[in-house]
Amino acid sequence: MFVETLLERELAHAGLKDPDRRLCQELVYGTVRWQRTLDWLIGRKTQGRVQKTGLQNLLRLGLYQIFFLDRIPNHAAVNETVELAKRLGFGAQAGFVNALLRGYLREFQPTKAALEDLKRTQPALGHSHPEWLVERWQKRWGIEPTNRLLAWNNTPPELFARVNTLKNDAGKLLEQWRAENVDYDFVRHDWLEENLVFRLKAAPPLERLPSFQAGKFYVQDPSTLLAVREMGARAGEDVLDLCAAPGGKLTCLAQMMGNAGRLIAHDISAERLKIVTENCARLGVTCATTALPSTMFAHVGTGFDRVLLDAPCSNTGVMRRRVELRWRLEPKEMERLRQGQLDLLRQAGSLVRPGGTVVYSTCSLEPEENRGVVDEFLHGHGQFGLERERELRPFVEGVDGAYVAAIKRAHR
């Protein structure tokens, strides 16, 4: 289970006030993101000796506050970490924790300079990423673009909202947001309609907002809407979303179709489809029907005009949102995922009518999961042709990474 899920579960019944909740989230996510660099700091003071996991985490937490978080005074970070060590059963090591952290307070400026120098001399270590992944990106893009990507991955993700035009328009939503103390900004990209997506600069917890509860917007990064735009779905068409959960792209397709047509939401489990159903209900989507693999055949008929395949992938384009992904991912994962992606694309191709379109998308930056999959599919399916493709790179477009390819099936 991912750290984001575990933390959300704990926070649900922790009873923290909103500022404390946000601080807790920042401490957890930041410590996980900067884990490798923090371990380097610890190793400098311990001659590389491995600490017990709980003690190592406490040291990481204290050092993160000292060197990567400005909102907590350094002396308070040390004192709280020492007290936490005592409460968690590390009383015998409290003096060691205190000495290590206070030692770094005395060397604060030289250490800050060393951390900055590390980003230049050893980018993977300085930016807290796996060596193999950084080398891979450097070979493709070069050092400076890769460094910009590494920095991007270490910044907290922004929050974006897509206006749900099935229930309101942008003008009405913005008026309600102002009454709800939501601070927003306009978002413009060449693949977005005007006033479709807004950046939420500050807002109360979304689940408490009447505008959210009423389904007047959906939280969604702008990059995810490139695939929806390439679908070009129209009212009255038969459309399939092959991997639909949690339903962000699906509900936007319904919006494009004006809730008129047949929209099938397929996914691998009832639990995942339950999330889709809940989102459809909140957003007022009435043209969508859910389908499990066991019931999919009943919905196929003569095929679909358009099929969206948002394939499971390595998620390297959304690494700043998946804070521990960098520590879970392994090189061999790309090949395993590629085979599954190819199988799904073949399935999507078999479900689209002659003259129809398959849109293949991922949130991966890796070529073997993107164009590599598309090329292999096209090589074995002569009736299909690549119409267009596009890759969004965080260090270029300033949004989450994504790949989208529109693949057309011949009329005969």
Known catalytic residues? 363
Rounded Cα distance between 190 and 307, Å, is: 23
> 324 in helix, strand or coil?
coil
Q: Is 128:319 a contact under the CB 8 Å cutoff?
A: no
In which order are the strands placed within the sheet that holds 262-266?
288-291, 262-266, 238-241, 304-310, 352-362, 402-409, 384-392
Rounded Cα distance between 127 and 9, Å, is: 29
What kind and span of H or E run contains 263? strand 262-266
Tell how far CA 123 is from the center of its chain. 22
Smallest CA-to-CA distance from 285 within 161, 170, 166 is with 166
* Ramachandran angles phi, psi of 110, nearest 5°: -60, -35
What sign does the CA torsion over 150, 155, 157, 158 have?
negative
In which order are the strands placed within the sheet that holds 159-163?
183-186, 197-202, 159-163, 217-219
Pairing of strands 384-392, 352-362: unpaired
Rounded Cα distance between 305 and 302, Å, is: 10
Query: Cα-atom radius of gyration of the chain, to the nearest Å?
Result: 24
Smallest CA-to-CA distance from 16 within 27, 4, 24 is with 24
Q: Is 42:51 a contact under the CB 8 Å cutoff?
A: yes
Torsion of CA 47, 55, 12, 155, to 10 degrees: -10
Complete DSSP assignment for 171-214: HHHHHHHHHTT-EEEE---TTS-TTSEEEEEE-S-GGG-HHHHT
Q: Is 374:362 a contact under the CB 8 Å cutoff?
A: no
Q: Is 265:273 a contact under the CB 8 Å cutoff?
A: yes
